[in-house]
Chains A and B, each alone.
Chain A
Amino acid sequence: MTANTSEGATTAARVAANGLPTPERGGTSVVLQDLSRFFGATRALDGLSIEMAPGELVALLGPSGCGKTTALRIVAGFETADAGSVLVDGKDISRVPASRRDMGMVFQSYSLFPNMSALDNVGFGLRMRKVGTGSRRKKAAELLEMVGLGPQSAQYPHQLSGGQQQRVALARALAIEPRVLLLDEPLSALDAKVRLQLREQIRTLQQRLGTTTLFVTHDQEEALSMADRVGVMSKGKLEQIAAPDELYADPATAFVAEFVGVMNRLPGDLDSGDRVTVLGTSVPARSGSQAAELAGQPVDVLVRPEGLRLEVVENGNGIVTTRTFLGSVTRVGVLLDGDIALQVDKASSEAAALPPGASVSVTLPPEPVHVAARKATA
């Protein structure tokens, strides 16, 4: 508690001396240790553990109700974990109230104070830290400039667009030079163009300031494009946490494989050992895909659209149903024998030869594939 108060004073001193926030030397490490939280009989968090390195941006990604927001709110101090703890720079802050955690937060809904101008909103946290009026207004103005809203400093929240409000909220959260920045789906209420601009702005600022950031989103594109590491959650548990490219290329579980990116499911037969036969080809199962545990059960093979080969042949094993132009590649929809729908990516230059109705052959290269228990069909 005392430590936090003195840190607040240090922040004030830094602000008064410098103006713009400066990266903290070494940054702040955050550890979520075995967090569990129940809401009645519902288990919102089930032993969640994450370690965040100083200056790192970690995104928590998952479907609605997976517990990601609960985890963020526990870190912020708005919820209390039933078990587990949150460590900031090695100190357990589980019992520290939200107002003393020194964490900046940007909320999903517009959270600006309606009775204050943009400038006063940004300066609010500094006012709470007893920063003098002159320094406070100077710094608030600089932060508004930083998010590109200098001319709007005198405007009230209702006079700003949604995107502008979230930028003011970001400036407000950064003004206190938080040890940790928490972002609770801050872009979800914005339209696509503004969302893209703001997400680039957030990432640039976060890297420039070196603030350790926890970002919650259900939008995988946002998570993969912004985060150093992405934690995929399901039913209160962390399925996998990894760098975006690793998460995409080497998913740890079937849930991650299907949640991140586009994934095809093909029925396969497990051979003895770690091989599976699919589309008439025997391919190795990836290590970690639990092929051994699935022995004797019907299985599906998980393959990404770019992991399949597609050739035009007469009397092939499938028919082209759709073509979607995505720029350099075109996503081709194929219906295989047995009513199995697939998506296959082809270079757009080659996709012209694949009109809907064309007979094609879909094959798998002999590379390791993910194997999962077969999904029950309706």
Chain B
Amino acid sequence: MASVVAREAAGGIAPPRRRAPSSGVGAGTIFRWVVLIVTAVYFLLPLWAALRFAGISAFGSVIGESGFTSSLALSVRLAIITTVITIALMLPTTVYVHLRLPRLRRLMEGITILPIVIPPVVLIVGVLAIAPGFLKGTSLLLSLLYVILAMPFAYRALDAGLRALDLKTIVEASNSLGAGWLSTLWRVILPNLRTAMLSATVLTVAMVLGEFTMASLDLYQTFPVWIYVNSQTSGQVSVAASLLALFVTWVVLLIITMIGTRSSRKRGGGTVTLFTVARQETRGD
């Protein structure tokens, strides 16, 4: 207040005065805090209980446990293969639908939501019954199934990224400047979809690292399956491994989101979230 008076006295224009804070805390504020605390307790209490059950010493013995390294390596390998196939399939499809078949977007949304509606157990049982023999013995089959499971997440992330671009105009601008389709895809579309692809990757990796049903029915000991099997013999180590996996996944998501946001902001985009990419804004003048 004193500084405002001083500015006015010095001939400056006083900024609009803020409304004085009310003496009491509003009912809305209390409600928001209550919701936040209840939600936090709902999520954090099980984690705290798990941490207490496992004990700090169990974390040290997780790495040396039999099957830990191989199951984690398998899950990571599946995550990489699944992500590569998912992006390779979904990116051109989504771009093509946006550019050439915009009327099919609703249909695409409907189709890509199916893996969420159909239980994974139905998918895996059906696929195992009809899959060709050369695929049945390889983890590639599991990756191909994960591609289907990742479809809803990957499509939505890429779709959100494409909606944030004036795709038709920038593709035509690129063409008119002499770029063919591959150059346009590589130099114009992909760099502008970096954030969306990052989101799709994060979601796909998170999904693969956590998938249990299909892997166990296909008799592969992925990391979640190993955690489950290990829980039969060593509950504490198993819970410690779960917490470790959760923490590592969370850190990876955080890092990717932070890097994506920094890169996006540099080019005028907004914060990277998993399904939305803020539209580029132009200065109004």
Q: Which residues of B contact A172 (CB under 8 A)?
A: 173, 177
List of B residues within 8 angstroms of A169 by Cβ: 173
Residues of A close to B283: CB separation below 8 A? 158-162
Q: Does A105 contact B (CB under 8 A)?
A: yes
Contact pattern, A 150-186, Cβ under 8 Å of B = 1, otherwise 0: 0000001111111101000100110010000010000
B174 lies within 8 A of chain A by Cβ:
yes
Which residues of B have CB within 8 Å of A165?
282
Which residues of B in the span 247-285 have a Cβ within 8 Å of any Cβ on A? 266-269, 280-285
Contacts of A160 in B (CB 8 A): 282-283
* Chain A neighbourhood of B230, CB < 8 A: none
Q: Is the CB of B192 within 8 A of A114?
A: yes
A residues 180-204 with Cβ under 8 Å of B?
Answer: 182
Contacts A111-B166, A114-B267, A161-B283 known; A128 to B192 CB distance under 8 Å?
Answer: no
Stretch from B56-64, B82-90, B178-186, B204-212 contacting the other chain: B178-186
Q: Is B109 an interface residue (CB 8 A)?
A: no
Chain A: residues with Cβ within 8 Å of the partner, total of 39
List chain B residues, Cβ under 8 A from A101.
Answer: 176
- Across the interface, which residues of A come within 8 angstroms of B177, CB to CB? 99, 104, 124-125, 128, 172-173, 176
B34 proximal to A (CB < 8 A): no
Across-interface contacts of A182 in B (CB, < 8 A) = 176
B198 to chain A, nearest CB (A): 14
B175 touches A114 (CB 8 A): no
- Bound together, the chains give a CA A104 to CA B9 distance in angstroms of 58
Is A156 in contact with B192, judged by CB distance below 8 angstroms?
A: no
Q: B174, B188, B194, B282: which contacts A157 (Cβ < 8 A)?
A: B282
Interface pair A124/B174, CB less than 8 Å apart: yes
Contact check, B266 vs A125: say whether CB atoms are below 8 A apart. Answer: no
B282 near A158 with CB under 8 A, answer yes
From A77, A115, A125, A159, B192 is in contact (CB under 8 Å) with A115
* Residue of A76, A102, A105, A110 touching B282 (CB-CB under 8 A): A110
A contact face: mostly helix, strand, loop, or mixed: mixed
**Does A99 lie within 8 Å of B281, measured CB to CB?**
no
Residue among A76, A110, A111, A160 having the largest count of chain B Cβ atoms under 10 Å: A111
The number of chain B residues touching the other chain, given as a range, is 20 to 34
Residue of A at shortest CB range from B180?
A99
Minimum CB–CB distance for B207 against chain A, Å:
28
Judge if A325 is at the interface, Cβ distance under 8 Å.
Answer: no
Interface check A218, CB cutoff 8 A: no
Complex formed: what's the CA distance from A113 to B188 in Å?
A: 7
Per-position binary interface string of chain B over residues 143-186, scored 1 when its CB falls under 8 Å from any chain A CB and 0 otherwise = 00000000000000000000001100110111111111001000
Closest to A4 in B: B178
A4–B256 CA distance with the chains assembled, in angstroms: 44
Complex Cα distance, B169 from A165, in Å, reads 14
Contact B282–A107 (Cβ < 8 Å): no
The answer to whether B119 has its CB under 8 Å from any CB of chain A is no
Task: Give Cα A101–Cα B266 distance, bound, in whole angstroms.
Answer: 34
Note all chain B residues with C-beta closer than 8 A to A161. Answer: 282-285
Q: Is A100 an interface residue (CB 8 A)?
A: yes
Structural contact, B267 and A99, CB atoms closer than 8 A: no
A129 at the interface (CB under 8 A from B): yes
Q: Which of B176, B183, B268 contacts A158 (CB 8 A)?
A: B268
Q: Which residues of B contact A76 (CB under 8 A)?
A: 172, 176
Whether A128 contacts B268 by the Cβ 8 Å rule is no
Q: Does B191 contact A (CB under 8 A)?
A: yes
Chain A 217-236: CB-based contact to B (< 8 A → 1; otherwise 0):
00000000000000000000
Contacts A115-B192, A156-B266, A156-B268 given; does A107 touch B172 at CB 8 Å: yes
C-alpha spacing A105/B170, complex, angstroms: 11
Contact between chains at B172 and A159 (CB < 8 Å) = no
Nearest B residue to A164, CB-CB: B283
> Bound complex: CA of A173 vs CA of B179, how far in Å?
13
**A99 CA to B185 CA, complexed, in Å:** 14
Q: Can you give 20 A-B contacts (C-beta < 8 A)?
A: A76-B172, A97-B180, A98-B176, A111-B170, A111-B172, A113-B192, A114-B170, A114-B267, A115-B192, A124-B174, A156-B267, A157-B268, A157-B282, A158-B280, A158-B281, A158-B283, A159-B268, A162-B283, A162-B285, A172-B173
Enumerate the 6 nearest inter-chain pairs by beta-carbon distance, A residue then B residue, closest first.
A158-B268, A125-B177, A128-B178, A115-B191, A111-B173, A105-B176
* Other contacts beyond A125-B178, A159-B283, A163-B285: 10, CB < 8 A: A98-B176, A99-B179, A112-B173, A114-B170, A114-B269, A114-B280, A115-B188, A128-B183, A158-B268, A176-B177
